[in-house]
Amino acid sequence: MKIPINERAKALQVPGIRAFSNQLVDYPDAVNLTIGQPDFPTPEAVKQAGIDAINNDQTGYSHNAGLLELRQAVSSFFSDKYGFTYNPVNEIVITAGASEAIDSTFRTILSPGDEVILPTPLYLGYEPIIELCGAKVVYMDTSDTGFRPSPERLKSLITSKTKAILFNFPSNPTGVTLEKEHMDEIVKVLEEHPIYVLTDEIYSENTFSGEHVSFAQYESLRDRLFLIHGLSKSHSMTGWRIGYVLGPEEIMNHIVKVHLYNSVCASVPSQYAGIEALNNCRHIPDEMNKEYIKRRDFVYERLVGMGLDTIKPNGAFYIFPSIEKYGLDSFSFATKLLKEGGVAAVPGSAFSVYGEGYIRLSYAYAMPVLVEGMDRLEKFIQQL
């Protein structure tokens, strides 16, 4: 006898990113440009802090919101670098990666029937969480506005059912950043409507030129804004699973409850590693960015040289060239590229229907890998 499960869980799909990277087992000689994971090792001092925590038997539970010392380090980092302060006692929660921060926040603020606006194309790890909460995703197309959200379009999408909007800049998958002048216009619209704002700034430290501007720097949004962040990208700590959410005390008191029933607390040795990363290794992202810029410039110039329409990214480690002129949908193009060209890329459709006509390439790989990948891609395109 079959016992039914949650229909929302049944409807979940494996993300296109993973679907293509998982195919690599059948193509062992393919060049993999799918996964957004730094290829740099975790800094030695950070690793040693984790090792020391284990050796010192600091392996039990922490406070549900995380070690106060780590919350203080998070608060100090944003205060020192971006000029805004969150109280480490009651406005910061340490989570098992930024993904869990997003999950706990959405599960706290969303009710069935609510609507959440997502500027697209975007990382599709957000949509399943929203739908599991019984809420509805409303896409905002940015493919015709330079991958930046239009204030006018945002205003037109807000309804009585709109509960929240989520921003992700620097962007996955486009690498686009938002300048302050553009953010000012977006904030003007948000100030007119009582909706929550989630801002996933996990790639903020991977901004290549100019200064990253955070939505948390706008005081008018602070009573309904949740800043999502973590150490996975900035310090090459994806597997350590340290993220955090910063927000107003009144709602953070509820987020910490959802978080504790999810995971009790983040890994304690990882939390001690996080303290070291934020207090003593703030220079690490700049060192990695020097290499990312070299890789970005190489990949961008090769793509343009192949005749692919491409916006030069200013952050993260992704590039999003258009393949529309080849007459194939992005899934077919990526499949053909893998099977015949020996390069694994992510179809743009994995990032919503508004990513159709593009592919995403990650340049979080060593230069020899990128050289081989671009050589194969060029050869493949020449044969289309």
pLDDT tens digits, 64-109:
999 999 999 999 999 999 999 999 999 999 999 999 999 999 999 9
pLDDT of residue 25: 74
Domain 44-280 has CATH 3.40.640.10: yes
- Where do the structural domains in the chain lie, given as residue ranges? 7-42+284-382, 44-280
- Establish how many alpha carbons lie within 13 A of residue 365's alpha carbon, considering only the half-sphere containing its beta carbon: 22
Q: What is the pLDDT of residue 144?
A: 95
| Strand order across the beta sheet in which 243-246 lies | 92-95, 243-246, 225-230, 196-200, 162-168, 115-120, 136-141
Task: Output the pLDDT for position 11.
Answer: 78
- Per-residue pLDDT at 50: 98
pLDDT (tens digit per residue) in 135-172: 999 999 999 999 999 999 999 999 999 999 999 999 99
The CATH classification of domain 7-42+284-382, taken from the options 3.30.500.10, 3.90.930.12, 3.40.309.10, 3.90.1150.10 = 3.90.1150.10
**Coil/strand/helix, residue 112:** coil
What pLDDT score was predicted for residue 270?
98
CA dist 351 and 320 (Å) reads 11
Given a cut of 50, the residues of the chain with pLDDT beneath it are: none
Provide the β-strand partners of residue 119.
Answer: 140
Output the pLDDT for position 12. Answer: 73
Model confidence, pTM: 0.95
Give the Cβ contact number of residue 215 at 10 Å.
21
CB 260 within 8 A of CB 115: no
DSSP assignments along 296-332, one per residue: HHHHHHHHHHTT---PPP-BTTEE--B-GGGT--HHH
**Largest interatomic CA distance in the chain:** 61
Q: What is the pLDDT of residue 172?
A: 97
CA angle at residue 11 from 129 to 350, to 5 degrees?
70
Q: Which residues contact 80 (CB under 8 A, 6 or more apart)?
A: none
- Which pLDDT score, from 0 to 100, does residue 19 have? 63
Round to whole Å and give the CA distance between 204 and 206.
5
